[in-house]
Homo-oligomer: A and B are copies of this chain.
Amino acid sequence: MLDAKHIKALENMVGKENVYSDKAHLIAYSYDATRTRYEPDAVVFPRNEEDVSHILAYCNEHKIVITPRGAGSGFTGGALPTNGGITLAMEKHMNKILEIDMENMVAVVQPGVVNMDLQKAAEEVGLFYPPDPASESYSTLGGNVSENAGGMRAAKYGITKDYVMALRAVRPNGDIIRAGKRTIKDVAGYNIAGILIASEGTLAVITEITLKLIPKPKYTKAYMGIFPSVEDAMNAVFKSLAAGANPVAMEFMDDLVVHALKEKLGIELPENAGGLLIGDVDGNVPEEVEFQLATLEKSFKENGAQDFVVAHNAKERDELWVARRNASPVITIYGSKKLNEDISVPRSMLPVALKRIYEIGHKYGFKVPCFGHAGDGNIHVNVMVDGSDPKQLEEGHHCIEEIFELVVEMGGTLSGEHGIGTAKAPFMSIAFNEEEIQLFKDLKHAFDPNNILNPGKMALP
């Protein structure tokens, strides 16, 4: 519990109307997309960077723990106040697009801006903000930066970090830091923005983000490759890209997902489709789009594709994409709870990785439907268990642990885009040795010697 004098001090700083410790607020801010719950002791809505600075300096002095929070849509617990203290919620006041600079193709936003709102604002002036996490319509850019969010368009356009030009942030001691510039090149001083990206709110509180925008290519078409097996599809992924294809997205669904789509939604998909690859290609000229489609088709067919379908208009494109959009909800036919992990491996390892993941699932007796961003090697692996059976849940976690060991052995990572937070913290020792974990601790200590910022995440104290 937070002492009444601290509540009072916070109210004096940011106004009574921006500090809450009533039960309703504490419950409302107790969860995220992991569906686990930890109540904070207070929820504070800073009005601006100065507020953030005052709050942090005060909490640092009094060793009060702070958890920064965007939309609370993260999958790994980054925004969960696991140690109580203050939840610093950005969505109420610090949610403005401050500027769209068309001349330099740059947007300046506050951390609480929803990703899709920026995408729309950019599009209105003929520009494009590519990072599109599945949570794009509700997740915030502060959260996107803190977790280094990916998305489907990463295959061609990269991830959040590729768009962050500059940040403003507040250190736990209240110091306001400017990192980076509205310039393409900047090599003066350490790359502070680079270390804050993906740091899950453990090093500093981000108060302003300068993001690169790009011109949007005029022409887009969607494609679907239908393969007899997952292995064929996975071979086609890395071979088509190595052959020079550069699709906007290359999304994968396995046979289990295809079956669930037919069974649950009656979506028409080819009989005996063992694996699908769906995506968009784009270009400034129609010939570039055709070049991409031809490169993909050739490579797909060389790697066993039974069919290669191109959507020639918006309606056909929607029909192709409906399968991918529904992949996540339909797989509940295999179990009431999915243990969802977003592993990433070098693309050439995908065929073997998927084969061995299914074998591990089989050993435990679980179905493991897989789908996701194959074009960048990032696959959502879903171990389906009966959520009401504690034994299955425990077994499921062992299954996940084996999958992580496999992935790391193959040169892959625990997380392609969801982060570590609390959910993957137990697995950090699979991926990092003691010296590497020690460096993380040293860095954390350098930024936050009193350990007030989001403690207990990323397997840190």
- Tell me the bound Cα distance from A189 to B443 in angstroms: 11
Query: Among A44-52, A87-95, A170-178, A359-367, which stretch is in contact with chain B?
Result: A170-178
A196 closest partner in B (C-beta): B191
Does residue A415 face the partner (Cβ distance < 8 Å to B)? Answer: yes
- Interface segment out of the listed A21-29, A237-245, A316-324, A389-397: A237-245
A347 to chain B, nearest CB (A): 6
Residues of B within 8 A of A443 (CB): 190, 192, 195, 443, 446
| Complex contact A439–B191 (CB within 8 A) | no
Give the segment of A221-229, A258-266, A284-292, A330-338 that binds chain B. Answer: A284-292
Q: Which residues of chain A in 112-153 are interfacial with respect to chain B, using CB atoms and an 8 Å cutoff?
A: 147-148, 150
A197 CB-CB contact with B under 8 Å: yes
Which residues in B have their C-beta under 8 angstroms from that of A103? 238-239, 242, 346-348
Partner of A241, one of B105, B186, B291: B105
Alpha-carbon distance between A458 and B188 when the two chains are bound, in angstroms: 8
| Copy total for this chain | 2
Q: Taking the nearest CB of chain B, how far is it from the CB of A53, in angstroms? A: 10
Question: Is A453's CB within 8 Å of the partner chain B?
Answer: no
Taken together as a complex, chains A and B put the C-alpha atoms of A36 and B192 apart, in Å, by 30
Q: How far is the CB of A75 from chain B (nearest CB, A)?
A: 11
| Cα A428 to Cα B190 with chains together (Å) | 12
A249 close to chain B: CB less than 8 A: no
Among A154, A179, A191, find the residue whose CB has the most chain B CB atoms closer than 10 A: A191
**Interface stretch (choices A4-12, A267-275, A305-313, A406-414):** A406-414
CB distance from A106 to the nearest CB of B (A): 7
Whether the Cβ atoms of B238 and A435 lie closer than 8 Å is: no
Partner of A184, one of B344, B418, B445: B344
B188 contacts A440, C-beta separation under 8 Å? no
A175 to chain B, nearest CB (A): 4
* Cross-chain contact B154 with A184 (CB below 8 angstroms): yes
Residues of B within 8 A of A162 (CB): 162
Distance to closest chain B CB from A453 (angstroms): 13
Asked if A255 CB lies within 8 Å of chain B CBs, one says no
What's the Cα separation between A414 and B187 when bound, in Å? 8
B244, A183: Cβ atoms under 8 Å? no
CB atoms of A185 and B150 under 8 A apart: yes
With both chains docked as a complex, state the minimum distance between the C-beta of A31 and any C-beta of chain B, in angstroms. Answer: 21
Q: Which residues of chain B are within 8 angstroms of A411 by Cβ–Cβ distance?
A: 181-183
Tell whether A189 pairs with B104 under 8 Å between CB atoms, given A194-B197, A195-B194, A442-B446. Answer: no
A359-385 interface code vs B (CB 8 A; 1 in, 0 out): 000000000000001001110000000
- List 10 A-B pairs, Cβ < 8 Å: A106-B346, A177-B436, A178-B436, A183-B416, A185-B373, A187-B413, A188-B414, A190-B440, A285-B285, A285-B288
Q: A186-B413, A188-B420, A287-B288 are in contact. List 6 more A-B contacts (CB 8 A).
A: A101-B348, A103-B242, A182-B346, A187-B416, A191-B197, A442-B446
